[in-house]
Amino acid sequence: MAGIGKHFKYLILGGGVAAGYAAREFARLGVKLGELAIISKEAVAPYERPTLSKAYLFPQGAARLPGFHVCVGSGGERLLPEWYSEKGIELILRTEIAKAELTSRALTSVAGATFTYDNLIIATGSVVTRLTDIGVQGADCNNIFYLREIDDAYKLVSAIQARKNAKSVILGGGYIGLELGAALQINDLDVTMVYPEPWCMPRLFSPEIAAFYEGYYAIKGIKIIKGTTAVGFDSDANGNVTKVKLKDGRVLDADIVVVGVGARPHTTLLKGQVAEEKGGVKTDSFFKTSVPSVYAVGDVATFPLKLYKELRRVEHVDHSRKSAEQAVKAIKASEAGQTVEEYDYLPYFYSRAYDLSWQFYGDNVGDTVLFGDNNPLSAKPKFGSYWIKDGKVVGAFLESGSPEENKAIAKIARLQPPAPDLEQLKNEGLSFASKF
Ligand SMILES: Cc1cc2nc3c(=O)[nH]c(=O)nc-3n(C[C@H](O)[C@H](O)[C@H](O)COP(=O)(O)OP(=O)(O)OC[C@H]3O[C@@H](n4cnc5c(N)ncnc54)[C@H](O)[C@@H]3O)c2cc1C
């Protein structure tokens, strides 16, 4: 049994997006004073993490806390620290858990504090991949940044402000790379993006979609180097980065480097104690893990994606919010001897940069058909793509859609209607989605 410590009926490990939405759901369904606590290694109450790579980095009118605490990202009430105290929910901040013992229902912090629980929700999110982890030469020099938590974003902003017109190199062409490329360029930095793939965001984008964003970024003056990676860094006498050495032999000048090469679910504390699948903690449709009274939500959960009849992990904010709400509903229902409906999630991803904004719903498998105007030189480019598998439209992407149009693409991704001939689908474009 663990030593003397605080005990909670409900304990949330991690204080990110999922934790905040779970707290709101507990409050909605009824939680007594002192029953619920959130433990977070961050110093602030849960906030909308996507803001860090967007409005947080604006040169003017930047978003700052308390402006983007959850649940403003989904149009809900902003939960300030006072909200948690009013509800009797304890926010245990600046507290990193070093050990989790699921059999004795105890967590121990780095400082040695012990917390016990009746029910645990694991919401530890993801950890970024650091170039030091993979042994890249010189990767520990100064001014090489990562972006996961608000402290990282603060350090990046300080570096941007300290050196006007700096040369920046962004490593990675995924979400973080693309959003940061735009943000640094808006801050008047010289920006070069480097990624190993033949086009940006290959996990989602088709080559035609990627061509638009790469063209748009080029017009903004961003240089893109594809098909190679960083193999080392040079630094000056103060340890500040000066050069990025690429695998293809090129060497880039750099004052600031931002690395966005991926993240992995934060499951290390639980290794060997809970069933895992696809790199995450395996759950059922109620986000229950293999250990009684232990739930996992958000980025760490590998859950049954009912629509596709398979287990998946989803590292996106919409799922982190909804999975957290589902887990809390399930906990509360089981206490009342009731059940809730199975989680039936439609994957939804989005991103924003410059005056661009895209949404994607469904599954990006099968053939793709691009429609609309994806010429980056157009005054108002607007285009989309459908994914077609086994004769059905299973996924849809739209750049610069109106709320109604985004609703329409979400609807067809859920309905999966039979796809007409690909040429017809291309010609019909958005009006195909609007029929349903
Ligand atoms: C910069 C950035 C931009 C993003 N933009 C988008 C976007 O535009 N669209 C989109 O769909 N998704 C986006 N995402 C992804 C989205 O933010 C995540 O999917 C979401 O935050 C996951 O929620 P979570 O609660 O599972 O994890 P997180 O929000 O990451 O929260 C995890 C929390 O657990 C804490 N923690 C971890 N380990 C411990 C420990 N041992 N002890 C104590 N605390 C611990 C962390 O400090 C953190 O507070 C973005 C992510 C980042 C980093």
Mean pLDDT of 214-227: 98
Domain shared by 122 and 271, yes or no: yes
Domain shared by 269 and 255, yes or no: no
> Buried b vs exposed e over 282-295: b needs ≥16 C-beta within 10 Å?
bbebbbbbbbebbb
Q: Which of 13, 47, 124, 297 to mutate to test the pocket of ligand 1 (most atoms within 8 A of CB)?
A: 124
Position 395 pLDDT exceeds 70: yes
Take atom 19 of ligand 1 and give the residue whose Cα is closest.
Answer: 316
Give a yes or no: residue 110 inside a domain. yes
Residues 397-413: tens digit of each pLDDT? 999 999 999 999 999 99
Domain shared by 269 and 224, yes or no: no
Type of residue at 414: R
Q: How far is the CA of 148 from the centre of ligand 1 (A)?
A: 7
Take atom 34 of ligand 1 and give the residue whose Cα is closest.
Answer: 14
What is the pLDDT at residue 170? 98
Q: How far is the CA of 373 from the centre of ligand 1 (A)?
A: 34
Residue 125 alpha carbon, nearest atom of ligand 1: 27
CB atoms within 10 A of CB 44: 17
What is the pLDDT at residue 2? 41
Q: How far is the CA of 274 from the centre of ligand 1 (A)?
A: 21
CB atoms within 10 A of CB 232: 15
Angle (deg, nearest 10), helices 207-219 and 175-186: 20
DSSP-assigned letter for residue 336: T
Take atom 50 of ligand 1 and give the residue whose Cα is closest.
Answer: 50
Q: How far is the CA of 38 from the centre of ligand 1 (A)?
A: 14
What is the pLDDT at residue 4? 63
Rounded distance between C-alpha atoms, residue 303 and residue 306, angstroms: 9
Rounded distance between C-alpha atoms, residue 183 and residue 353, angstroms: 7
| Mean pLDDT value across the chain | 97
Domain shared by 176 and 248, yes or no: yes
Domain shared by 123 and 169, yes or no: no
Domain shared by 243 and 286, yes or no: no
Number of domains in the chain: 3
Domain shared by 178 and 250, yes or no: yes
Rounded distance between C-alpha atoms, residue 151 and residue 14, angstroms: 16
Question: For residue 417, what are its two tokens?
Answer: 């209607």
The residues with which 109 forms a beta bridge, in sequence order, are 97
Position 366 pLDDT exceeds 80: yes
Rounded distance between C-alpha atoms, residue 406 and residue 363, angstroms: 15
Q: What is the CA radius of gyration of the chain?
A: 23
Q: How far is the CA of 432 from the centre of ligand 1 (A)?
A: 35
CB-based burial of residue 25 (10 Å sphere; 0-12 exposed, 13-18 middle, 19+ buried)?
A: buried
Give a yes or no: residue 181 inside a domain. yes
Mean pLDDT of 27-43: 97
Mean pLDDT of 322-342: 97
Rounded distance between C-alpha atoms, residue 280 and residue 289, angstroms: 11
Which residues' Cβ are closer than 6 Å to ligand 1?
A: 14-19, 39-42, 49-50, 52-53, 96-97, 123-126, 147-149, 175-176, 266, 269, 298-299, 315-318, 320, 349-351
What is the pLDDT at residue 165? 83
Give the whole-number percent of the chain exceeding pLDDT 90: 98
Q: How far is the CA of 270 from the centre of ligand 1 (A)?
A: 18
Give a yes or no: residue 166 inside a domain. yes
Q: Are strands 280-282 and 301-305 parallel, antiparallel or unpaired?
A: parallel
| Closest by CA position to 309, among listed 342, 356, 276, 279 | 342
Domain shared by 213 and 64, yes or no: no
Rounded distance between C-alpha atoms, residue 193 and residue 179, angstroms: 11
Among residues 278, 300, 335, the one where a domain terminates is: 335
Take atom 4 of ligand 1 and give the residue whose Cα is closest.
Answer: 50
Rounded distance between C-alpha atoms, residue 124 and residue 188, angstroms: 35
Give a yes or no: residue 341 inside a domain. no
Rounded distance between C-alpha atoms, residue 170 and residue 144, angstroms: 10
Give residue for tokens 């360029």.
185
What is the pLDDT at residue 5? 86
For residue 71, cis peptide bond before it (omega within 30 degrees of 0): yes
| Closest by CA position to 385, among listed 360, 402, 408 | 360
Give a yes or no: residue 340 inside a domain. no
What is the pLDDT at residue 164? 79
Take atom 46 of ligand 1 and give the residue whose Cα is closest.
Answer: 14
Length of the chain: 436
Domain shared by 220 and 297, yes or no: no
Domain shared by 254 and 275, yes or no: no
Q: What angle is formed at CA 365 by the lines to CA 361 and CA 369, rounded to 5 degrees?
A: 80
Give a yes or no: residue 1 inside a domain. no
Domain shared by 181 and 251, yes or no: yes
Query: Which residues, at least 6 apart from 404, have a Cβ–Cβ distance to it below 8 Å?
Result: none
What's the domain range around 61? 6-127+264-335
Give the whole-number percent of the chain exceeding pLDDT 70: 99
What is the pLDDT at residue 114? 97
Give a yes or no: residue 342 inside a domain. no
What is the pLDDT at residue 222? 98
Using pLDDT thresholds of 50, 70 and 90, give the confidence band for residue 319.
very high
Position 1 pLDDT exceeds 70: no
Rounded distance between C-alpha atoms, residue 259 and residue 170, angstroms: 6
Q: Which of 317, 326, 351, 406 to mutate to test the pocket of ligand 1 (most atoms within 8 A of CB)?
A: 317
Among residues 261, 296, 317, the one where a domain terminates is: 261
Which CATH number goes with the domain that contains 310?
Answer: 3.50.50.60
| Alpha-carbon 143 to chain mean position | 23
Which CATH number goes with the domain that contains 415?
Answer: 3.30.390.30
Rounded distance between C-alpha atoms, residue 398 and residue 177, angstroms: 20
Mean pLDDT of 377-406: 97
The kind and range of the H/E element at 62 are none
Give a yes or no: residue 136 inside a domain. no
DSSP 291-329: STTEEE-GGGEEEEEGGGTEEEE--SHHHHHHHHHHHHH
Mean pLDDT of 111-115: 97
Among residues 221, 239, 261, the one where a domain terminates is: 261
Q: How far is the CA of 13 from the centre of ligand 1 (A)?
A: 12
| Alpha-carbon 374 to chain mean position | 26
Domain shared by 15 and 122, yes or no: yes
Residues 138-148: tens digit of each pLDDT? 999 999 999 99
